[in-house]
Structure 1
């Protein structure tokens, strides 16, 4: 015995199942792609990063609260492919099995009174001011201004100016 409308009902159920399978396939692939990324690679603009160990090919980094003294970088841009970062930004590229899974542009997020190590090959890293590898100390952080002339030339031995967001870091000797 057949009931009226069962063929239509069967088609509707099959269509809903097909849509559900398609949604799961697309979201599952996306979730698998994200699963292969580190926590740093999953960061969003405005998140902060701690450099635990700098390396040209295999840095150890971790997301951290931006208020933490070890939050050396703030994420300024997140991209799916290699992008030229702005001046005063550091690029972070993560590759897995030869393919790039993330590309971030990072801006310095130095804290006033903190010391850092600077390396041309590995970027910045938070260090204790008494550490032999300490390159500079942030004497003054000026948010909202990108103007090195706001640094006291009597005490500052250098500066870093970040155009976006406008920030000036007045730098001094870590030992002094």
Structure 2
């Protein structure tokens, strides 16, 4: 893992933390929808959100449903059924075969949680801390503002890609640790001044304080 760039505490003097420059949305021919790269974040290390395009259309159930669930179970897991508080698993972040689905929030695959859901695909999430998933077409257009599904002590790998995963903090690929989760308050001031990355989620009202996982 590359070392974090130099940083200054929030509110302190000196140069500001480097920001991840925005990138254009992924373009896919005949795409049904897409999840654009999230806005730039102030952070001492690069955190890239989900960059996926949802390529849909008429897809046979037998092709998509390869885990032997019933049609009803499969339908309930679709992102169109997600509401605030539901958890999301990224199955594939490929621009040609991108899939996400609802999962139980206690699942190790539940890396993201829906902070808020909005109708339409041009809405802005309440802050730059969210990752954004959008889907459009056939009258079913919506935006999911996704937050990390974390409790204090959780560690994550691949935070600089769309393949973020929960891992043991002792794992070789562990990069970021949730040292503090503040429920009921969405403000950078909720985290200690020396926090590596502060994620502020106005909906539902939560602040996540992340720091680099150092070697053990």
Same fold at TM > 0.5: yes
In structure 2, how many angstroms separate the alpha carbons of the residues matched to 1:61 and 1:129? 25
1:63 pairs with 2:75: no
In the alignment, the residues of structure 1 paired with residue 179 and residue 192 of structure 2 have an alpha-carbon distance, to the nearest angstrom, of 9
Once the two structures are TM-superposed, the CA of residue 173 in structure 1 deviates from its matched residue by 1.4
- Aligned equivalent of 2:160: 119
Q: Which has the higher helix share?
A: 1
Q: Is the 8 A contact 1:73 1:106 kept in 2?
A: no
Secondary structure in 2 matching 1:149? helix
1:141 to 181, 198, 207: 181
Higher strand share: 1
Question: Which residue number in structure 2 is paired with residue 173 of structure 1?
Answer: 212
Partner in structure 2 of residue 29 of structure 1? none
Say what the alpha-carbon RMSD is for the aligned residues. 3.3
- The answer to whether the 8 A contact 1:118-1:124 is kept is yes
TM-score (norm 2): 0.50
TM-score (norm 1): 0.60
Quick check: 1:45–1:77 contact (8 Å CA) kept in 2? Answer: yes
Q: Which has the higher contact order (CA 8 A, sep 6+)?
A: 2
Q: Which runs of 5+ in 1 are unaligned?
A: 1-34
TM-aligned CA distance change 1:91 to 1:147, over 3 Å:
closer
Query: Which is higher, the Rg of structure 1 or of structure 2?
Result: 1
1:44, 1:78 within 8 Å by CA — same for their partners in 2?
A: no
Q: Does 1:42 align with 2:94?
A: no
